[in-house]
């Protein structure tokens, strides 16, 4: 039996709804991965899409980001989707920087927004004029 690739799903508070919608739109693609998520994000995805069976870790500020970082360092995570909120100051900003550093160091794909995450999952698509510069999509 072949080992499935694993993805980590993380979202700042103001982006959790966006990530849940993204996961819902791409559930067929995501069903082929072992999915891990920080606490509240994982619980919200599991509530909305229980068929995906996301493994929730601790909340990001309580160590969930570090758990994902450790899994990246161990080679257990093959990609990271982290919907960041660029407009809200984050007291745990160092966690975002640490995850970014590990994704670069271990050469795994990291998406910080929906368009990049779509490219990661389904490949390039023809750009549409309605998407360009539209915040929050």
Query: Is 65 among the residues known to form the active site?
Result: yes
Q: How far apart are CA 111 and CA 19, in angstroms?
A: 11
Domain coordinates of the chain in residue numbers? 6-122
pLDDT level of residue 125 (50, 70, 90 thresholds): low
Q: In sequence order, which residues have a C-beta less than 8 Å from that of residue 67 and are 6 or more positions away?
A: 38, 57, 58
Our measurement of the distance from residue 6's CA atom to the centroid of its chain's CA atoms, rounded to an integer in Å, reads 11
Q: Which helix (H) or strand (E) holds 119?
A: helix 114-122
Over residues 15-55, the pLDDT tens digits come to 999 999 999 999 999 999 999 999 999 999 999 999 999 99
What pLDDT shows up at residue 121?
92
What pLDDT shows up at residue 123?
83
Over residues 51-94, the pLDDT tens digits come to 999 999 999 888 999 999 999 999 999 999 999 998 988 777 78
Q: Which helix (H) or strand (E) holds 116?
A: helix 114-122
Note whether 55 and 35 are within 8 A (CB).
Answer: yes
CA angle 33, 38, 41 (to 5 degrees): 85
What pTM, to 2 d.p., does this model score? Answer: 0.87
Does 60 or 1 have the greater pLDDT score? 60
Tell me if residue 19 falls in helix, strand or coil: helix
Does 95 or 137 have the greater pLDDT score? 95
Q: Pick from 81, 80, 62: which is nearest to 71 by CA?
A: 80
Count other Cβ atoms within 10 Å, centred on residue 52.
17
DSSP secondary structure code for residue 62 in this structure: G
Active-site entry in 17, 18, 34, 65? 65
For domain 6-122, give its CATH number from 3.20.20.70, 3.40.50.1380, 3.40.605.10, 3.60.20.30: 3.40.50.1380
């Amino acid at each position: 039996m072949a080992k499935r690739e694993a993805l980590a799903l993380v979202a700042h508070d103001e982006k959790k709804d966006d990530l849940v919608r993204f996961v819902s739109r791409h559930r067929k693609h995501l069903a082929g991965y072992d999915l891990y998520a920080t606490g509240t994000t994982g619980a919200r995805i599991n509530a909305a899409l229980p068929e995906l069976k996301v493994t929730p870790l601790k909340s990001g500020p309580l160590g969930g980001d570090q758990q994902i970082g450790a899994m990246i360092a161990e080679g257990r995570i093959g990609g990271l989707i982290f919907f960041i909120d660029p407009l809200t100051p984050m007291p745990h900003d160092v966690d975002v920087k640490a995850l970014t550093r590990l994704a670069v160091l271990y050469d795994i794909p990291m998406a910080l927004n929906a368009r990049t995450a779509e490219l990661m999952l389904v490949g390039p698509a023809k750009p549409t004029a309605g998407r360009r510069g539209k915040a929050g999509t």
